[in-house]
Amino acid sequence: MEVLENNIYPIFDRMLGREDKEALLGQRGVMVWFTGLSGSGKSTIAIALERELHKRGLLCRILDGDNIRSGINNNLGFSPEDRVENIRRIAEVGKLFVDTGVITIAAFISPNNELREMASAIIGKADFLEVYVSTPLAECERRDVKGLYAKARKGEIKEFTGVSAPFEAPERPDLSLDTSVLSVEQSVNRLLELIVPKVEIKH
């Protein structure tokens, strides 16, 4: 085996490529990136979507605050710098899944276009579907599933998106879903119409 300079082995010409992985799975990898306010319904829709895709024999992986903040990003806080690094790492992990042919579903507030554009650039625009869960702030605050809005209004949580920190709506999302109007089932059906044609391998 020929060794390159500095003793670096040329492993990339020996690794199986993305097409090999996708052929094995019988599907194409894609990133479905949910953005929206806390309480908008991102995680609820993501979980329902995963179940429906799984029923169709399609392999998925959900990335959300629960499995990312408690693991790979457990050393990050909520400073502006840490928020950027949080999204950067999520995108890099997501790219590994997408390149393995897995339908990857990310559910993160990701409150501005710059963050989401960074994620898209890392993953690759052709593999990045931006889904804006556009549920209005008033409805998200009415739900207040985790009691976070109440704490933010009392000043107990600083820089809380939608209350004391801005949320920048996507300019051209691939899909918008308002869960104050649409049921979970309706939202998932619209997502399936978007995603399934992109992940199917034509024979």
Name the residues annotated as catalytic: 110
- d(C-alpha 203, C-alpha 201), whole Å: 6
Q: Is 146 annotated as a binding residue?
A: no
Q: Is 43 annotated as a binding residue?
A: yes
Q: Is 42 annotated as a binding residue?
A: yes
Region for 191 from its dihedrals, namely left if φ exceeds 0, alpha if ψ lies in -120 to 50, beta otherwise? alpha
Q: Alpha-carbon dihedral of residues 171, 65, 104, 127, nearest 10 degrees?
A: 30
DSSP 70: T
Q: Is 41 annotated as a binding residue?
A: yes
Strands 103-107, 175-177: pairing is unpaired
Q: Is 155 annotated as a binding residue?
A: no
Q: Determine the residue type at 156.
A: E
Q: Is 151 annotated as a binding residue?
A: no
Known binding-site residue numbers for ATP: 36-43
Known binding-site residue numbers: 36-43
